[in-house]
Amino acid sequence: MTTSYCTIGKAAEGLFKEKGSKFFSYAFPVNTEEDCQMIVESVRQEHPKARHHCFAYRLGVDGQQFRSNDDGEPSGTAGKPILGQIDSLSLTNTLIVVVRYFGGKLLGASGLITAYKTSARDALDRSTVITHEVRAHYCVKFDYRIMVLLMEGLNTPDIDILSKQLDVHPQIQISVPVDRQHEIIDRFIASSLRLHLEQVDGQRKFDALQVELMPSDGL
């Protein structure tokens, strides 16, 4: 089970020059393919006269979703070395775009690989790698009769309150560390209903309290 993942904390820019060519690099924290598409298009519009807008990204807690694009450069000389720099730091949810302005002199395949690798790394070095804990999200539906005990049960560093809906059908959305979710939820239910842990033992539906696992991207 994946319990944490690394990405960059903020967007950053880098620059590499070689034989008159300029390689402007941009690193972004992202969550979806749609994010990546929008950002790549935005960079294209910012550099309309550039010859190449190459990019690579890796997405998802497990890092299984990825893509690299050479955008007209010889196959494997741009997108792959950019992705390699993302992977060298074990990052996910990260996009790097490298814009090349041709300087009039050919660099050759090895020169291009070095240029795209170096410019991508320059952008990453100007950002900060951060680690995120993977969390499971739950919806807590409850009777107002137990609200005081319930709020006391939620008052723990292990539980983050995401939202509250306190109307005729009260519910609270929470998140907990995915690797300890079952013990944390058992403990919370026992505290809210004044039960022993043995009486909960994985049950999630009681007369005054129901705790439902919500669909989540795991982030």
Alpha-carbon distances of 156 from 27, 139, 161, 171, 187, rounded to whole Å: 36, 17, 10, 18, 11
Residue range 86-130, pLDDT digits in tens: 999 999 999 999 999 998 888 999 999 999 999 999 999 999 999
Where among 70, 99, 131 does a domain terminate? Answer: 131
Residue 92, classed as helix, strand or coil, is coil
Q: What angle do CA 216, 87, 83 make, to 5 degrees?
A: 100
State the CATH number of the domain containing residue 174: 3.30.70.240
* Residue in 36, 42, 118, 116 with CA at minimum distance from that of residue 73: 116
Asked whether the beta carbons of 123 and 96 are under 8 A apart, the reply is yes
89 and 159 fall within a common domain: no
* Residue in 37, 14, 3 with CA at minimum distance from that of residue 132: 3
pLDDT band at 219 (very low <50, low <70, confident <90, very high): low
Residue range 35-58, pLDDT digits in tens: 999 999 999 999 999 999 999 999
Q: What angle do CA 19, 20, 25 make, to 5 degrees?
A: 100
Structural domain contains residue 219: no
Domain that includes residue 88, residue range = 4-131
105 and 170 fall within a common domain: no
- 217: pLDDT strictly greater than 60: no
Amino acid at residue number 82: I
Percentage above 90 pLDDT, the chain: 93
Rounded CA separation 14/100 (Å): 12
Residue range 143-181, pLDDT digits in tens: 999 999 999 999 999 999 999 999 999 999 999 999 999
